[in-house]
């Protein structure tokens, strides 16, 4: 019951958050529309005092819009910018205060960030970047002009410059690219009272700090002290007496997706990042891991449809065309192949018109079953639950499921075909075709992602397109072929 109540509370919170975001977006859009309407009316009416009235109305509308934007969290402003067409997006962006630019640039999508940076000159970009920490700058640096990055490097102090260089030296999918350099380290040869005084001296601790990292004189990580342990232990005790070894340490060259899974598996809030010699060089936080999980989910969803993850929803026709044409071209070829398969059996369809009405059912059910299988396999691959040694067993299991589904649902549709067209033979062919096509979809649902990952490709890339193409062509061929052999 408690778990059920917790889930209901989380769902209500999520619903309220989404509703609030939609409300903010609606208000901003309404203000932009009223602003344009007032401008149109003022210019249409004309008059000697048009310029004065125009400037007054312009300032009033923009001031109201700016007040709405100022009270929003940077993530909410980013959501609004992502959801607005380019013209309105820039209108809102120009109203954002300079000291918030950097935070918002980190929150918007890659494509929108590119458009916003293109509208800024070098001094504006530098002013925005100077508000960020070294790890945040690393996220932004790859999108900045080279001359801006060089100037930014010169303005940083030596430790920050080294941190930025370190973060930029790693690939986007490596832990080092997203690690945080703000953390609290302590020595093991001091008392907990000394640690508490040190924390009070700081007045503020980094966000998502749930533990302190214990290091020696060489900055090698020797243990951790969770903050709650400071409250329940005698302040006179030594750090060395209460600290524990942290089993969840990560290397900067590890894969971020696998690290995110570890955070989810062990319910981590933060974790240390150490180099090959065990020296503490940074930390990971749950905030960064949530971003990784979301981005991985978004990328997988788009990849299944053959889309890149960097398309602006309001991008120009040409940009969207370039993003989508590859898999549409592949789909066109596969659709042509399917049509030629049907063309091979034109004579059979002319003699038995019922085939034309029934064959989409076989192809459609096969495609749906294939997408179910491929979705499950891609998810299992992402979670590291499938290995080459288990692939054969998984394939046997999916084949068994396909055969059972084919016999059950193929039998149902076969009975329907018998009743509709008065032909038991047609019903039997329908059942056999359904079973064989589901078997084909199960095989392809396992083999397509496993083959892609074997050759170092994203197992989700275009998987829906490929499975649908194969089950369509295969379903038509199987059904019409069986009908030609046994009914014509």
Q: Cα–Cα distance between 120 and 262 in angstroms, integer?
A: 39
Tens-place pLDDT, residues 166-205: 888 899 889 999 999 999 999 999 999 999 999 999 878 9
Is 366 within 8 Å of 437 (Cβ atoms)?
A: yes
Which of helix, strand or coil describes residue 26? helix
Starting at the edge strand found earlier in the chain, the sheet holding 185-186 runs 185-186, 211-215, 221-226
In this predicted structure, what is the pLDDT of residue 5? Answer: 40
Percent of the chain predicted with pLDDT > 90: 39
| Contacts of 83 by beta carbon, 8 Å cutoff, 6+ apart | 25, 313
Tokens of 406: 């084919």
DSSP single-letter state for residue 177: G
Give residue 306's pLDDT.
62
Element (H, E) at 226: strand 221-226
Write the pLDDT tens digit of every residue in 411-421. 999 999 999 99
Token pair 């410059």: residue: 161
- Per-residue pLDDT, averaged over 468-473, amounts to 88
Most confident of 182-191, 362-371, 446-455: 182-191
pLDDT of 10 strictly over 70: no
Q: What value does the mean pLDDT take over residues 419-434?
A: 93
Is residue 279 within 8 A of residue 218, CB to CB? The reply is yes
pTM greater than 0.85: no
Q: Which is more confidently placed, 61 or 202?
A: 202
Q: Where are the alpha helices (H) located in 352-423, listed in sequence order?
A: 354-382, 388-421
Per mean pLDDT, which range of 84-88, 220-224, 294-298, 416-420 is the poorest?
294-298
Q: Where is 215: in which H helix or E strand?
A: strand 211-215
* pLDDT at 38 (0 to 100): 66
- In this structure, the chain runs to a length of 488
How far is 156 from 154, CA to CA, in rounded Å?
A: 6
At 257-281, the pLDDT tens digits run: 889 989 988 999 999 999 999 999 9
3-class DSSP state of 317: helix
**pLDDT at position 44:** 61
| Cβ atoms 69, 95 nearer than 8 A | yes
Find residue 283's DSSP bridge partners: 180, 272
What is the per-residue burial (b if ≥16 Cβ within 10 Å, else e) of 434-466?
A: bbbbbbbbbbbbbebbbebbeeeebbbbbbbbb
Statement: residue 141 has pLDDT above 60:
yes
Tokens of 203: 């007045």
pLDDT (mean) for 134-157: 86
State residue 284 phi and psi, 5-degree precision: -110, 145
What is the rounded average pLDDT of the residues 467-472?
88
**How far is it, in rounded angstroms, from Cα 284 to Cα 182?**
10
What is 119-146 written as a DSSP string? TS-HHHHHHHHTTS-HHHHHHHHTTS-H
């Amino acid at each position: 019951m408690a778990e059920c109540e917790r889930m209901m509370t989380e769902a209500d919170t999520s619903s309220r958050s989404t509703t609030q975001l939609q409300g903010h977006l609606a208000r901003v859009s309404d203000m932009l529309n009223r602003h344009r309407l007032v401008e149109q009316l003022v210019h249409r009416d004309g008059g000697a005092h048009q310029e004065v009235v125009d400037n007054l109305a312009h300032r009033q509308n923009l001031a109201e819009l700016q007040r709405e934007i100022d009270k929003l969290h940077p993530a909410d402003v980013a959501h609004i910018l992502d959801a607005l067409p380019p013209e309105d997006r820039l209108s809102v962006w120009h109203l954002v205060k300079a000291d918030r630019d950097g935070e918002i640039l980190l929150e918007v999508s890659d494509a929108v960030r590119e458009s916003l940076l293109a509208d800024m000159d070098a001094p504006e970009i530098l002013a925005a970047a100077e508000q960020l920490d070294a790890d945040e700058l690393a996220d932004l640096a790859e999108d900045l002009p080279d001359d801006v990055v060089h100037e930014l490097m010169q303005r940083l102090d030596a430790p920050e410059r080294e941190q930025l260089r370190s973060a930029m030296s790693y690939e986007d999918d490596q832990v080092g690219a997203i690690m945080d350099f703000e953390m609290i380290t302590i020595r093991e040869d001091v008392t907990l009272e000394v640690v508490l005084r040190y924390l009070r001296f700081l007045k503020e601790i980094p966000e998502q700090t749930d533990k302190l990292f214990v290091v020696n004189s060489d900055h090698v990580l020797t243990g951790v002290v969770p903050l709650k342990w400071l409250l329940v232990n005698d302040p006179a005790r030594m750090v060395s007496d209460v600290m524990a070894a942290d089993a969840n340490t990560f290397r900067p060259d590890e894969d971020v997706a696998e690290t995110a899974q570890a955070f989810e598996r062990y319910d981590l809030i933060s974790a240390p990042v150490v180099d090959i010699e065990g020296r503490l060089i940074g930390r990971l936080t749950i905030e960064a891991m949530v971003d990784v999980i979301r981005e991985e989910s978004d990328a997988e969803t788009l990849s299944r449809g053959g889309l890149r993850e960097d398309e602006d929803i309001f991008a120009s026709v040409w940009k969207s065309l370039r993003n989508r044409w590859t898999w549409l071209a592949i789909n066109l070829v596969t659709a042509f192949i399917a049509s030629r398969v049907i063309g091979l059996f034109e004579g059979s369809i002319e003699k038995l018109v019922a085939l034309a009405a029934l064959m989409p059912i076989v192809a459609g059910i096969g495609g749906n079953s294939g997408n179910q299988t491929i979705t499950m396999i891609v998810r299992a691959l992402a979670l590291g639950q499938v290995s080459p040694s288990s692939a054969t067993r998984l394939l046997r299991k999916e084949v068994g499921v396909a055969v059972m589904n084919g016999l059950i649902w193929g039998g149902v549709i076969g009975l329907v075909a018998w009743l509709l067209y008065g032909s038991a033979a047609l019903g039997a062919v329908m059942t056999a075709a359904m079973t064989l096509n589901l078997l084909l979809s199960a095989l392809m649902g396992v083999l397509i992602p496993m083959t892609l990952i074997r050759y170092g490709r994203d197992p989700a890339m275009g998987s829906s397109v490929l499975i649908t193409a194969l089950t369509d062509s295969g379903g038509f061929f199987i059904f019409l072929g069986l009908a030609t052999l046994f009914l014509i």
